Structure 1
Amino acid sequence: MSKIRILLIEDDNELNHYLAALLSKSDYHVEQCFDGMAGLTLAQSQHFNLILLDKMLPKLDGVSVLKALRENSQQPVIMISAKGAEEERILGLQHGADDYIAKPFNTQELLLRIQNILKRSLPSSAPKKPSELQIDGLALNHKKQTIYVNDHELECTTIQFKLLWELVSQQHNIVTKADLSQAVLNKKLGAYDRSLDMHLSRVRRKLNEANWLGDRLQTVHGKGYCFK
């Protein structure tokens, strides 16, 4: 996978080189510009995953660069300014900035803001979750929240479906009670909460009554549950 490309447009020579080193250390590929005109030309001629744009620049100020860029590009932009006034932040956002940070800023905060914007703008590499699961005659449909055993529908509650889905979708993995409680019941697991055990027992019994191996839903003592 190619490195994420960041265009840095900052006229302060010392800060420009400092930020470039910081970003390169974080494994980003950085292109440096020191005035607005050169920055706009580079931003319009190449694609960058993110642009760090100072507001006060020689030749062409940051807001003018942003306005020109937004005519035909939606490359994410974080504006940087020595002015922390509310109106300055609003002005940058009004003209299409994705975020705004005022000098002096914490470099860790800047890196986190960059990560958050990239997370939103870059296509996700995570595989799509399946909408259906089928294992040995057991079929679950997430959209309809239905359970079929050998083509016969099994009556179940929403909680029972969610519980079975979570375990089947993570076959052979131990799922902790805490994680299941959050995913299925949407609450933190209480110290004496036995509701998950109760729901699992009912699901197991229904599968057995439908002549399916409910014992494949196993309790791993002290750890959680596992679908084998």
Structure 2
Amino acid sequence: MSKIKVLLIEDDSILNNYLADLLTKTGYIVEQCFDGVSGLKLAQTQQHQLILLDKMLPQLDGVSLLKTLRETSQQPVIMISAKGAEEERILGLIHGADDYVAKPFNSQELLLRIEGLLRRSQPKISPKKATEITIDGLTLNAAKQFIKVNGEEVEFTTIQFKLLWELISQQNEIISKADLYQAVLNKKLGVYDRSLDMHLSRVRRKLNEANWLGDRLQTVHGKGYCFK
């Protein structure tokens, strides 16, 4: 764990220093930043295994920072905000956040979320299983973690890759939402949790923008999801 580098972008100096101390004691290497402009520059010029991003930041807010970052990078991001309303969580997920934590939060829960996201962002592929799938010009390579449409690579987050892989590798089978949550997000399905829907929507959009039929990823109401 000592090699895992976390970028902490939080303007509240007390909270920033508290989180930096917590993460350092847990074994992470922490780089601190206190505003959006500097945070974006660090995120774009250096590689971090995880970014903790506050939503309300001076100079450049967290959502705008994330939108710009996602144009060139798929580094895992957990967004932190004092606003815990569902629409705030959805906004963060729409613009590419991998997870969302609302203030005030439990330190142990935050550490568990970080561990879970880091675990999901380093998928382990069994050598006995297929590592590449190609369907109608769409290619997924699990070993190298890339997706290509007609030979052109398309950027996907690790979670989006796992979601698409799970659906395509079980073509024409209906996968329950609970099973997908466990396989892709490594957590149980919550009653009001819509994070998987947000990720699926982004996958569809990216495929459509690459001139591939994203609508083949279908929602089967009351049952789950299916790739046709």
Instruction: Give the TM-score of the pair, scaled to structure 2.
Output: 0.54
State how far apart, in whole Å, the 2-side matches of 1:129 and 1:46 are: 31
Kept after mapping to 1: 8 A contact 2:2/2:28: no
Paired residues of 2:83 and 2:103 also in contact (CA < 8 A): yes
**Match of residue 156 from structure 2:** none
1:194-215 CA distance string (max 9 Å, x none): xxxxxxxxxxxxxxxxxxxxxx
Rg larger in structure: 1
Letter in 1 for 2:24: S
User: Which residues of structure 1 form unaligned runs of 5+?
Assistant: 132-228
Residue 108, structure 1, aligned to residue 108, structure 2: yes
Read off the aligned partner of 2:111 and give its amino acid letter. L
Correspondence 1:104-183 to 2 at 5 A: 104-122=104-122, 124=124, 128=126
**How far apart are 1:122 and its partner, in Å?**
2.1
Say if 1:62 and 1:46 are closer, same or farther in 2 by CA, change over 3 A. Answer: same
* Structure 2 residue aligned with 1:79: 79
SS at match of 1:73: coil
2:225 corresponds in structure 1 to: none
CA distance in 2, matches of 1:123, 1:63: 27
| 1:16-95 correspondence to structure 2 within 5 Å | 16-95=16-95
Question: Which AA in structure 2 matches 1:65?
Answer: L
1:14 is paired with a residue whose SS is helix
Q: How many residues align?
A: 129
| Equivalent position SS for 1:32 | strand
Distance (whole Å) between structure 2 residues aligned to residue 122 and residue 59 of structure 1: 33
Query: Secondary structure in 2 aligned to 1:92?
Result: helix
Identify the structure with bigger relative contact order (alpha carbons < 8 Å, sequence gap 6+).
2
Q: RMSD of the TM alignment (CA)?
A: 1.7
* % identical aligned pairs: 73
Q: Distance in 1 between matches of 2:112 and 2:102?
A: 15
Q: Per-residue deviation at 1:129?
A: 6.2
- In the TM superposition, 1:193-212 aligns within 5 A as none
Letter aligned with residue 20 of structure 2: A
Give, in angstroms, the shift of residue 88 of structure 1.
Answer: 0.5
User: Residue by residue, what CA displacement relative to the aligned partner does 1:154-185 show, whole Å, maximum 9, x if unpaired?
Assistant: xxxxxxxxxxxxxxxxxxxxxxxxxxxxxxxx
1:98 pairs with 2:98: yes
* 1:78-97 per-position Cα deviation (integer Å, ceiling 9, x unaligned): 00000111110100000000
* Amino acid in the other structure paired with 1:49: Q
Contact 2:84 2:103 in 1 (8 A): yes
Q: Equivalent residue of 1:111, what SS? A: helix
CA distance in 2, matches of 1:50, 1:92: 16
Taking the aligned partners of 2:43 and 2:118, their CA distance within structure 1 comes to 17
